[in-house]
Amino acid sequence: MKKVTKNAKIEDIEKNVSLPDDQFLTTNQGVKINDDANSLKAGERGATLLEDFILREKITHFDHERIPERIVHARGSAAHGYFELFEDLSAYTKAGFLTDKSRETPVFLRFSTVAGSKGSPDLARDIRGFAVKFYTEEGIFDLVGNNTPVFFIQDAMKFPDLIHSVKPEPDREIPQAASAHDTFYDFVSLTTESLHNHMWAMSDRAIPRSLRMVEGFGIHTFLLVNAKGKSHFVKFHFKPKLGVHSVTWEEAVKINGADADFHRRDLWEAIESGNFPEWELGLQIIPEEDEFKYEFDLLDPTKLVPEELVPVKIIGKLVLNRNPDNFFSETEQVAFHPGHIVPGIDFTNDPLLQGRLFSYTDTQLSRLGSPNFHEIPINRPVNPVHNNQRDAHMRMTVNRGNTAYFPNTIGGGCPHLAKMAEGGFTSYEERIDAKKVRERSTSFSDHFSQPALFYRSLKDWEKNHLANAYIFELGKVNYDSIKGRMLWLLNQIDKELAQKVATGLGMAIPATIDKPINQNIGADADPKRLEPGKVKNYLDKSDALSQEHLPSDTIATRQIAVLVADGFSMKQFKKMTDPLKKEKAVIALIAPHGGKVKCDTGMEHPVTHAIATTESVLFDALYIPGGRKGIDALQKVGKVFKFINESVKYCKAIAFDGEAKELIDKSYAKDFVGDKAIFLNGNAQDFRNAIARHRNWEREPMTEHIPA
């Protein structure tokens, strides 16, 4: 290591400015670090130890980097609702909200993007947070998950590095809410454990049509513990009743320009209109004795359990039925924490989960300014709180009496302890007999098999979108060495995918790479010990990994753009739209002007949007009724054809009635006569069915000639 030289400015040394010398990695106290990738555990698969001062210092500093905005998940939308249990699960757990079917448990669900700031747009290509606060009668249970079943890293020690890499680059503070840049791909290409979740982030899951159409996952493997002390491993799944749907990347870019609050507005308006979003809660339950049954480790947060191996058991539903009264007081001040659990639920030794148990408390202390964040109304449990914690900034509880300690006699021994039979929380008894080590289990080292399974399981249109996402993202990277590493890694996962991306980048797939595959090891560790091997095919494909695995036959809340001008056919309009409105589709009249528009019977109808003030990408389908006068007027408006052409390009359902067929020959719709989602004088039922399918993705390969 170089010493400070005469060339170093004394003011830089005094200000603790980082000097560009050959530096060892150290703690803030100057202690050289031997391993910056693994937390200190009781055995390589054991619990993370509180004495790990390197982990605590690193995460504490990270947690306090932003004030007061959340470092991650800063942009959020939320709603109140309830959870209803279908089946008594007392065979698996003693948690009251999972055993008592007579209860209706209040919930607060916050959706979010991960990388962007509060001011970033809704449709950034990003993972979506899916955090649920259950206000149970035994206390708060927070399930702090995402819309992907896995995470980027295996150990909490790497979380600051991951987020630093994906946040705006520190020298220029760009790009905002985007991962298409050098630092992120430098990190990902050197951290191969991240490849699985990264592939989810490059898929259509990262640009959802609506927050009401995303799956939610608890990510980690937790424990369910019943009244007899028997445990089962469990993974949590939330499956949307509206299905899982996305938009294309081109649409997302346009939507961000037309309405940066698209997702937030969509959620709010659906709830206000009484179309309450709903998810089924499902569990994958695995007996404790099956912990080592699979070719992947249940404690590895970068791995999922395929539903073909362990089916998801649907046990209840979650409904959102009330918008917040105040965004700041509720959506902004809500404090989630994976350490908020209730009797009957417990932790596993997942090293990412173990680190989160420390990090979230530390984060809330910084963001909300006091250990009393639990007294903010949105964070209060519904059951009484009694303990000996006192004072601190913004204390609201007025504690009576002169004792604040236990045990005591002056206060009558209160508050006193609760036995297990009285609902007292006891941790699951797990035998620990291991050496203190800063290592990672070799069972975590398969980094290619599950990304390969994910890719194999996608439909062709999903595969094309994913490959195009990689081409776009890597096309923004300036370093050929980083792009080459990514191509080499993709080739280990799937050769077809790698070749598509390489062709799009105009590069060859390297035969070798210049860095070790896995750099998340200690300085003295054997680099080959955790080197990922070749892809293992323990399952040809998992249909549940495709967006099409949750088909939906509803058109409720779907936005239908209806292009009209004075003189449109009321008969055709009613015949098509009345059945759609009965199924709670939203009909938006788009006219050449605002105010009102007259149909051919002389009736006036309020215009939803003047065509100059809206965009086709904000709607799910397009309908144009006939009427000679109306169609003559529409043909003079250039943006009418933009609406038609974009609806064709983005594979949406389109219906033309009567004279509206003349618009076909003047648009790109003429190239798709016979398409199963484009209708001429069709009936409402056929149009409705096409809308329910979301998109006719079979059209997409033939739309490349249509300008974006």
Please identify every residue annotated as catalytic: 73, 146
Q: Residue 468: how many CB atoms within 10 A of its CB? A: 17
Q: Residue 571: how many CB atoms within 10 A of its CB? A: 15
* DSSP symbol at 198: H
Q: Left (φ > 0), alpha (ψ -120 to 50) or beta: where does 364 sit?
A: alpha
Contact assessment for residue 131 and residue 116, using Cβ atoms and an 8 Å cutoff: no
Chain centroid to Cα 164, Å, comes to: 18
Q: Scan for tokens 């979230």, then name that residue.
A: 360
Sign of CA dihedral 288, 294, 300, 304: negative
* Separation between Cα atoms, residue 620 and residue 688, nearest integer Å: 11
Contact assessment for residue 517 and residue 531, using Cβ atoms and an 8 Å cutoff: yes
Chain centroid to Cα 539, Å, comes to: 25
Report which of 563, 550, 549, 666 is spatially closest to residue 611, judged by C-alpha positions. Answer: 563
Segments in 239-345 forming alpha helices (H): 249-258, 262-272
Structure tokens at 601: 């019977």
* Separation between Cα atoms, residue 130 and residue 149, nearest integer Å: 11
Q: Are strands 41-42 and 436-437 parallel, antiparallel or unpaired?
A: antiparallel
Chain centroid to Cα 64, Å, comes to: 23
Helix and strand tally (H, E) in the chain?
17, 20
* Separation between Cα atoms, residue 656 and residue 678, nearest integer Å: 8
- Where is 641: in which H helix or E strand? helix 638-649
Q: How far is CA 319 from CA 277, 336, 443, in A?
A: 6, 19, 38
Segments in 93-230 forming alpha helices (H): 159-166, 182-190, 195-202
3-state secondary structure of 598: strand
* Separation between Cα atoms, residue 156 and residue 49, nearest integer Å: 12
Q: Give the HSE-up count for residue 452: Cα atoms under 13 Å, Cβ half-sphere.
A: 20
* Separation between Cα atoms, residue 349 and residue 343, nearest integer Å: 18
* Separation between Cα atoms, residue 197 and residue 213, nearest integer Å: 19
